[in-house]
Structure 1
Amino acid sequence: MKVLIIKRDKIGDMLLTTPILKLLRQKHPQATLHVLANDYNAWVLDGNPDVDEVIVYPRVRHDGRLRLGAIFSHLALTRRLKRERYDYVVIANGGESPRAIRRGLSYRPGKLLAYVESERFRHHPSLQAISSDKRHESERMLQLFAPLGLDGDTPLPPPRLNFSPAQLEAARQWLATWQQGAPDNFIIIGLGARRRQKQPSAEQVRRWADAALQRWGTPTVVVWTPGQRDNPLYPGDDELVAPLLAAPQPHIRPYSGSLQTVIGLIGLSRASLFPDSGLMHIASAAPGGVVGLFADRQNSADPDRWGPLGDRAIVLEAPHSVAELEDEAVLAALERHLHP
């Protein structure tokens, strides 16, 4: 049996797919399992033993610009994937994705499995429309694989991410330049989030970092994205981090460098605290675990659907803004990771 799983989304979405890949491999150890990913999220599956091949396609648009070379790459890729003659192509999304469905049908699979809400796809002979009564995105994706023998009520294993030696070494080299930092004794507080309501304030970060040093002797790395808040492509945290940069403390060190170093830092940290983001999901796969911050579910991501998975994930939710969270609730969640 040959199966292609299409996953075009962001880093966190790809990570939420890894529990299902493990279950699928356990169910069909002899199957050929391919994942079609884009050049932004494919690395999440580096070294994943549950996948035979990750097929990477370039994004046609990147940083708002059209990449003509990517268009020709797509044409060649379509020809290759037609020749593969997949028994199943699965659109691994928790809801309908018309573009991904059209892409999957173009590969002429024996059967395409997808969520379908509109009428335009319902009567295609190769498409099997799936329905779901689940809340979490990973549970919804799991139900897509019922025709392949997976039970939609099976408990999901934790997400899987291989923290590479290069990522960990980059983090160690950066920590070596910080007198108070150590590879086995620091926590991370992240700032980056699409919505301001889900971000902690500089005052909260300082209070939490001070308490972490006093209670557990752990300095704090603050991960932030450079740039202005109104950047439509990559909202930055310059304004948010400015008070921390203006009054530096030896036990608080901001970092805004490469993503690979950030991932290495997450892999080495004793615990992480992140707003709802891709980095939050990465931290859920780290040994130290994560506290995920959510707020304003009426206008933003619902943690029941998008919360981090696994035994090392804790969710804290505020009604309207992370600023409403009590310090003791945040510190108690960190304590559960530091002293389980």
Structure 2
Amino acid sequence: MLIKTIARLISYALLGKSDKQALDIASVRKVLILRNDKIGDMIVTTALLRELKKNYPHWQIDVAASSANRSIIADNPHVSDIIVWDKQPLLRDLRTTIAELRRRRYDVIFNPYNRFSIPLLLRIKWLGARYLTGFAIPKYGTSTAKLGMFDHTVPCDRNAHILESFFAAFQQFNLRDIDMRYELFGVDAHAAAIDAACDALLDTHDGLFCLNFQGSNAQRTVSVADAQRCCAVLAARYPRHALLVIAAPGSEARVAEIVDGAGHANVMRSPPTGHILQLAALIRRCELVLSPDTSVIHLASAYDKKIVGYYIRTDNYRWFYPASRHYRVILAPGLTLASVSAEETLAAVEALLPEPAPLRVAG
């Protein structure tokens, strides 16, 4: 209790703002969206970038990105400038990125992070936004809604897709005709080798599945044994499809083990996808995508693919579920994908795909 009280008092002392002004939407010119984290989060945020620019075409919309996710918006026409803001010690941050962003004097800054972290909030406060909007996150017996640094906060709705909360944070801007679809740009520049490989596969197969079993951490990763079983049942059920298992950097040996252990010739490693937009190029050619909750799900959503998603039992299965019209979520009973059922996986795929035509027997 004492620690909570001290943290609450420190929050009030450090995270206030004395010179608040009423929002004048007509005077807004420069907006900064903070998104210096993961690839999937940036893909989801593309819908917000488009809708802000559509409603306010005169705005300069900048994005603070990470080195990891910058390429997702490198060719996005709705973004004026991208500032790479990778994690670094606080004092170095103050001298470099924070100082640069503060000099730009943004009218509006959106903080999309749904966590109460004093070091994070200090960094955001020092950016000097005239108007700061974000989420009301409870902690230490208080909430970010009670911190003076925020001009507007909304609850981060745990029963709706995260984009609903993003747009709620901009409710005072009266955005109209909101379209929540994700979008990607610049994929064609990375697609030549992928398209050639897919064309060759489609000469001998009726379609392509993209299978990913690697998660962002061990808890979200499907075991080799379970991946082998899933591949085997899908390959037997869809023998005229090529099942392409993608390899995240560093997981090549693991993928080779999955492919070899599946025991079917139509299970194979995917063409190389060393760049995230190469992976996007592959996904847009596939009929179905299967993956844990990673950027693969969001890339597939951008192309409205049929998706089977493996989710652990956290808020992510409600906040970041697939944003396509046709999907199935397989929800783990706990906080790991320790056991993934091949039968449940097959049932989910069958629910999304038409009955495969029977194999013709020569004779």
TM over 0.5: yes
Shift, 1:4, TM fit = 0.6
**Superposed counterparts of 1:213-252, under 5 Å:** 213=239, 217-225=240-248, 236=251, 238=253, 242-246=257-261, 249-252=264-267
Contact 1:180/1:250 (<8 A) preserved: no
Shift, 1:40, TM fit = 0.7
Shift, 1:318, TM fit = 4.7
The one of 66, 77, 83 equivalent to 2:97 is 77
State which drifts further: 117-126 or 78-87: 117-126
**Superposed counterparts of 1:41-80, under 5 Å:** 41-60=69-88, 75-80=95-100
CA spacing shift, 1:123–1:306, aligned 2, 3 Å = closer
Alignment-derived partner of residue 233 in structure 2: 207
Give me the whole-angstrom Cα distance separating, in 1, the residues matched to 2:343 and 2:316: 17
Structure 2 residue 295 is matched with structure 1 residue 273 = no
Structure 2 residue 127 is matched with structure 1 residue 107 = yes
Alignment-derived partner of residue 96 in structure 1: 116
State which drifts further: 260-269 or 40-49: 260-269
Shift, 1:294, TM fit = 2.3
**Superposed counterparts of 1:8-19, under 5 Å:** 8-19=36-47
Give me the whole-angstrom Cα distance separating, in 1, the residues matched to 2:84 and 2:49: 17
Shift, 1:293, TM fit = 2.1
CA spacing shift, 1:187–1:337, aligned 2, 3 Å = farther
Which AA in structure 1 matches 2:49?
Answer: L
Shift, 1:307, TM fit = 0.9
Contact 2:298/2:322 (<8 A) preserved: yes
CA spacing shift, 1:95–1:196, aligned 2, 3 Å = closer
Query: Is the partner of 2:134 in helix, strand or coil?
Result: strand
Give me the whole-angstrom Cα distance separating, in 2, the residues matched to 1:77 and 1:29: 26
The one of 299, 306, 324 equivalent to 1:310 is 324
Give me the whole-angstrom Cα distance separating, in 1, the residues matched to 2:53 and 2:230: 43
Shift, 1:105, TM fit = 1.4
Shift, 1:142, TM fit = 2.0
State which drifts further: 246-255 or 8-17: 246-255
Give me the whole-angstrom Cα distance separating, in 2, the residues matched to 1:22 and 1:310: 18
Alignment-derived partner of residue 290 in structure 1: 307
Alignment-derived partner of residue 258 in structure 1: 274
Q: Please list the CA deviations of residues 10-29 of structure 1 after superposition, one character each: whole Å capped at 9, or x if unmatched.
A: 11111121222222222222
Shift, 1:219, TM fit = 1.0
Query: Is the partner of 1:268 in helix, strand or coil?
Result: coil
CA spacing shift, 1:226–1:310, aligned 2, 3 Å = closer
Q: Please list the CA deviations of residues 53-112 of structure 1 after superposition, one character each: whole Å capped at 9, or x if unmatched.
A: 222224439xxxxxxxx9868733323322221111110124435444222211211121
Pairwise CA RMSD: 3.5
CA spacing shift, 1:318–1:182, aligned 2, 3 Å = farther
The one of 164, 169, 186 equivalent to 2:208 is 186
Give me the whole-angstrom Cα distance separating, in 1, the residues matched to 2:83 and 2:152: 25
Shift, 1:265, TM fit = 1.2
Shift, 1:38, TM fit = 0.9
Contact 2:181/2:323 (<8 A) preserved: yes
Alignment-derived partner of residue 360 in structure 2: none
Taking structure 1 as the reference length, what is the TM-score of the superposition? 0.77
Alignment-derived partner of residue 64 in structure 1: none
Contact 1:91/1:100 (<8 A) preserved: no
Alignment-derived partner of residue 21 in structure 2: none
Contact 1:163/1:263 (<8 A) preserved: no
CA spacing shift, 1:247–1:157, aligned 2, 3 Å = closer
Q: Please list the CA deviations of residues 118-167 of structure 1 after superposition, one character each: whole Å capped at 9, or x if unmatched.
A: 4486665442251326232222222221233348xx76521112251232
Contact 1:183/1:269 (<8 A) preserved: no
Contact 1:284/1:312 (<8 A) preserved: no
Q: Give the % identical residues.
A: 21
Contact 2:184/2:302 (<8 A) preserved: yes
Structure 2 residue 183 is matched with structure 1 residue 166 = no
Unaligned runs of 5+ in 1: 62-69, 228-235
Taking structure 2 as the reference length, what is the TM-score of the superposition? 0.73
Give me the whole-angstrom Cα distance separating, in 2, the residues matched to 1:268 and 1:163: 16
Q: Quick check: which has more Rg, 1 or 2?
A: 2
Give me the whole-angstrom Cα distance separating, in 1, the residues matched to 2:153 and 2:253: 43
Contact 1:101/1:114 (<8 A) preserved: no
Which AA in structure 1 matches 2:230?
Answer: Q
Q: Please list the CA deviations of residues 278-300 of structure 1 after superposition, one character each: whole Å capped at 9, or x if unmatched.
A: 211111112534222224x1xx4
Structure 2 residue 171 is matched with structure 1 residue 146 = yes
CA spacing shift, 1:333–1:190, aligned 2, 3 Å = farther
Which AA in structure 1 matches 2:133?
Answer: L
Structure 2 residue 349 is matched with structure 1 residue 331 = yes
Which AA in structure 2 matches 1:113?
Answer: T
Contact 2:230/2:346 (<8 A) preserved: no
Query: Is the partner of 2:75 in helix, strand or coil?
Result: coil
CA spacing shift, 1:46–1:5, aligned 2, 3 Å = same
Which AA in structure 2 matches 1:170?
Answer: A
